[in-house]
Amino acid sequence: MSSAATASDSQETKEPLLKYERVGGHFHAIFKDDSLSCIALHVNFVCAGTYGGNVLLLELDGRFIRRLHQHYKKVNQVCIDETGQYIASCSDDGTVAVYILFPATGASAATDISGNKHSSNQNKEKTRQVSVSSTGGEVNIYNYFSAVYAVQLEDRYAMKREKSFACGGVSGQLIINKRGWIIDKESTVHEGEGPVQLIRWKDGLVAWANDWGVKVYDSENDQRVTYIERPPNCPPMELCRCHLEWQSNDVLLVAWAHTLRVVTFKKGHAEQPASPTSAAALDAVEHQSGTITAEVVALLTFDFFVAGISPWGGGSVVSVLAFRPPGSGSSTGPPTSKSARIEGEGESGEMPYPEVHVVRLDGKQVSADLLNLKGYQRLRASDYMMPTLRYAHAHPSDLETDPSSIYDAGYGQLVYVCTPKDVVICRLRDADDRVQWALARKQYDRALDVALHDPRALRRVVLTDVLETYLGDLLRHKLFQKTAEEIHRLFIGGGEEYAKLWEKYVYVFAQRGQLSAIARYMPTASPRLPKVQYEMVLKHFLDSDPGQLLELIRKWPKPRRQDAPAVKQQTESDNSVAPEYTETTHVFEPLYDAQAWINQLETVVRRRRIAEADAERLSVETMYLMEALAELYTATEQYDHALRIYLSQGEFCSNKDFAFKLITEHQLWSLVANKVVNLMRIDKTIAVRMLVNQTEQLKISDIVTQLEGEPELLHTYLHELVLHRLGEYNSEIYSALHEKQVALYAEYAPDFLLKFLQTSNFVPLEKAYKYCSEHSPPLWDTMIYILGRMGQHKKALDLILTQRGDINQAIQFVQEHDEGLWDYLIDLSLTSKANVEELLKFASQHKIDPIKLIRKIPDDMEIENLKQKVIAIITNYRVQQNLCIGSARCLITIAWSFCTAKLQPTSVPACGSQEGVCHLQRVAACSVVRNGDSTRVCV
């Protein structure tokens, strides 16, 4: 049996969720002479009841095990406890049979009759319990003298000391039977609302359905929990039964007619529940005040009658068996799949096929399949059964966040869709089915995703076959780069298991001339490919792409000069090599022969350099080959050869940092002593810093000699000496370099020349002045500084006023050098109105005679705001005069106090000589003498 495709062609490619298989075995014998009336599932077997009264044990695939008991009439329900040791069945003959498949050793079969207690003492003689022997077990028969429609064993029945079961039937009573060590106890929980059609018992909560609705009873607290009304306009029980399933210990699924309710139970004090999903749900649930409360959290309405339900793991998915009556408007065509046509019984005319729907509890439909069951044309909704078996190892998952987890929710789910004449197993399509379905439709990427999701779940499909099919499709479409990326993603971490595949696809890419796509992904450690493949790749890039060759040599683990199994030698050599060149594989044999490749690269480089001798510079490809050769020299500890290559490359060296690291770590100073220009061309900044810091190994004079022909490099080196080695450099030994450096500064860094002149003690000022004056434009600030140091102050003032035009700088220059230049500054400034105004502004603040300045102002020069400037001069002058007078008076007072304290006699002579006292009390005469424009204070 298989799922049917939808009518729409656009949905034919949608992957089915479920698969179906018709069960044979002993079921064929049952269907030949009898009909199936009820069925229950256990992980080890199936228990089936028939219309003829037989209770049979079968394998899950239908093979016969044994017959348990012969009822006289139709078996209405069978129930199996969790351990599979106890089975209960009930029948229209009024009996309930409890089978013990594995009784205790030495237990004898006995027959006794015992009375039953009734809560109202009205039915003491109605129930008879008989214990008789059965082949390979024991059976206890309870007679209720009227048809029993439902029976249910309590949870953990085999582990309880007092074993209880609930039953009910045409009498309308729900009876709970407790079997003790001595006698059985019976109590009637409910009666008077029509026949009890169905019972489900979970974790102390007993749910049952009758003509009025569904009730839930707390058997542990002997208290009714809730009542759910029968849906309106519901067909009679004979046509459409109620279906109850516990999804978990506190969630009950109630499916009846067109509706499915999800009821949750909470332990604790009764509270006003949250609003149900609809008004009908609110009216249908009666909340009781007690320790357990119930609430309808979801209500689903369908356009068909529910003939069975099966909860899935995860708590938000359920499968529903749908029954549509004739003329309901549903499609009545047969399933379109081949297997459905073969196994079915032909077309049905007007009777719709039964359907299996997988829906989420939020109302969204996941899948829907049509089933071509035998004899479905003559069946009612009440004739279908849908028992469910879920294996204990199945795990729930979050279906809301992961769309693919619908398969996790159905993992371990086994559903039997049964009719009186047919049994079909419905299960989730496993990984093999999904992979084969995708491969058949050439959806190779989808097949691979499914296979990789859980490779251990594959049984009939080999993962490597799926991988090769997927990669082969990419290669057929010439997607070489993507194929290489996928090979890396899929094979990485596969270890030696994928070594053969790696080896195969390297050759495949080589045959198609696409080694450049896969080379960067080739493994070098685990797995380890044959040595010939690595050398094949290197040879390919040597001829076609030297840049890729250099990249691979840098990336792959470096072979050493002595690649031997002596781990100690390898470790010792690691200490003398830069860290990035010590990554070697844990396999002793190198990826390729380093010395052979050195010889080969030397030949190729030599040939290329001869061919490119007339060119201005070497080609990029030759540079790549030279750096690859340097990498191998370094790997084999031939550091001097490697450094020579880097020095010969100069500015085109791409491994600059490592070139300098070679020098410092391996003390190759002698090699660079005569190659300073080449070294600085690799990286001027790093090279200069190294040369300045290593003056002991690299003498300043030798470096300057080599840099004579490169003035810019020489300037950079000498400038670095000024910045970081001034104490050593500012000495008479290097005085000649100071003179040379003035010209270099004037050419390359004129802004720094003034600072250099301020720090250097050996610069000839005349030559420095000449360099500055010849510079274009002239370095006026530096020239003014030089004139100041040479004592040519008036010439400096001339430059300041004529070239710089800065009177403030001129005033500062006079203050710093010679205050006798004030008159000369005034005379020079008289030609400029702006200069005179600035001098008037600062006249009172400097040693400038304002009267002399005003008298020298030409008569025809108009000074703006002259009156205000003169007032400001006078005001400022008076302030200074007052400050001087006040300071003088303070000084007089302090001096008088000091003199008085020092000249005061310590004792008066006995003779009372007046002359001695007068001599000690001399008074200092103080006066303020005004002399010109200054004030002198005398004490």
What does the pLDDT look like over 150-195, one tens digit per residue? 999 999 999 888 899 999 999 999 999 998 777 778 999 999 899 9
Distance CA 306, CA 382 (A): 9
Q: Can you give the pLDDT at residue 425?
A: 94
**Other C-beta atoms lying within 10 Å of the C-beta of residue 259:** 18
Distance CA 712, CA 695 (A): 20
Query: Cα dihedral sign for 65, 66, 67, 68?
Result: negative
Q: Can you give the pLDDT at residue 808?
A: 74
694 or 496, higher pLDDT: 694
Question: Which of the four pLDDT bands, split at 50, 70 and 90, describes residue 862?
Answer: low
Q: Read off the pTM.
A: 0.68
Crossing angle between the packed helical segments 711-724 and 750-759, to the nearest 10 degrees: 40
**Other C-beta atoms lying within 10 Å of the C-beta of residue 838:** 17
599 or 867, higher pLDDT: 599
Contact 11, 365 (CB under 8 A): no
Crossing angle between the packed helical segments 620-635 and 639-649, to the nearest 10 degrees: 160
Where helices occur in 612-675 by DSSP H, the ranges are: 620-635, 639-649, 656-666, 669-672
699 contact partners, CB below 8 Å, separation of at least 6: none
Amino acid 191 reads E
What does the pLDDT look like over 659-693, one tens digit per residue? 999 999 998 898 888 899 999 999 999 999 998 88
What does the pLDDT look like over 522-543, one tens digit per residue? 998 888 899 999 999 999 999 9
Distance CA 248, CA 316 (A): 11
Radius of gyration of the chain (CA): 54
CA separation (Å) from 754 to 583, 780, 798?
52, 10, 19
Q: Can you give the pLDDT at residue 533?
A: 94
Q: Can you give the pLDDT at residue 741?
A: 87
Q: Can you give the pLDDT at residue 844?
A: 58
Bridge partners for 57 per DSSP: 47, 66
Amino acid 523 reads P
Q: Can you give the pLDDT at residue 486?
A: 96
CA angle (415, 417, 423) in 5-degree steps: 115
- Output the average pLDDT for the chain: 80
> Where do the domains of the chain lie, and which CATH numbers do they carry?
1-25+317-428 (no CATH), 34-196 (2.130.10.10), 803-879 (no CATH), 887-938 (no CATH)
Whether pLDDT at 291 is above 50: yes
* DSSP line for 723-751: HH-HHHHSSGGGHHHHHHHHHHHHHH-HH
- For 452-488, letters b (16+ CB in 10 Å) and e give eeeeebbeebebeebbeebbeebbeeeebeebbbbbe
Q: What does the pLDDT average to over 197-224?
A: 93
Q: Can you give the pLDDT at residue 497?
A: 81
Whether pLDDT at 577 is above 50: no
- The region of weakest confidence among 230-244, 590-604, 607-621, 862-876 is 862-876
Contact 829, 836 (CB under 8 A): yes
45 or 786, higher pLDDT: 45
Contact 253, 244 (CB under 8 A): yes
Q: Can you give the pLDDT at residue 845?
A: 62
Contact 694, 686 (CB under 8 A): no
Q: Can you give the pLDDT at residue 478?
A: 95
Whether pLDDT at 507 is above 80: yes
Contact 41, 80 (CB under 8 A): yes
Contact 594, 568 (CB under 8 A): no
Q: What does the pLDDT average to over 637-662?
A: 90
Q: Can you give the pLDDT at residue 800?
A: 77
Whether pLDDT at 921 is above 60: no
Q: What is the maximum alpha-carbon separation in the chain?
A: 167
Q: Can you give the pLDDT at residue 57?
A: 94
Sheet order of strands, 305-311 included: 305-311, 317-323, 355-360, 365-370
Percent with pLDDT over 90 in the chain: 43
713 contact partners, CB below 8 Å, separation of at least 6: 677, 680, 684, 707
Q: Output the 3-class SS for 848-890.
A: CCHHHHHHHCCCCCCCCCHHHHHHHHHHHHHHHHHHHHHHHHH
776 contact partners, CB below 8 Å, separation of at least 6: none
What does the pLDDT look like over 705-746, one tens digit per residue? 899 889 999 999 989 988 888 888 888 888 888 888 888 888
Contact 382, 293 (CB under 8 A): no
- The region of weakest confidence among 321-325, 367-371, 901-905 is 901-905
Single out the residue of 601, 673, 608 nearest to residue 638, CA to CA: 601
For residue 527, cis peptide bond before it (omega within 30 degrees of 0):
yes
557 or 848, higher pLDDT: 557
Q: Can you give the pLDDT at residue 329?
A: 58
What does the pLDDT look like over 433-489, one tens digit per residue? 999 999 999 999 999 999 998 888 899 999 999 999 999 999 999 999 999 999 999
- Helix-, strand-, coil-residue percentages of the chain, each rounded to 5: 40, 20, 35
Helix (H, G, I), strand (E, B) or coil at 410: coil
Distance CA 32, CA 721 (A): 110
Distance CA 171, CA 58 (A): 32
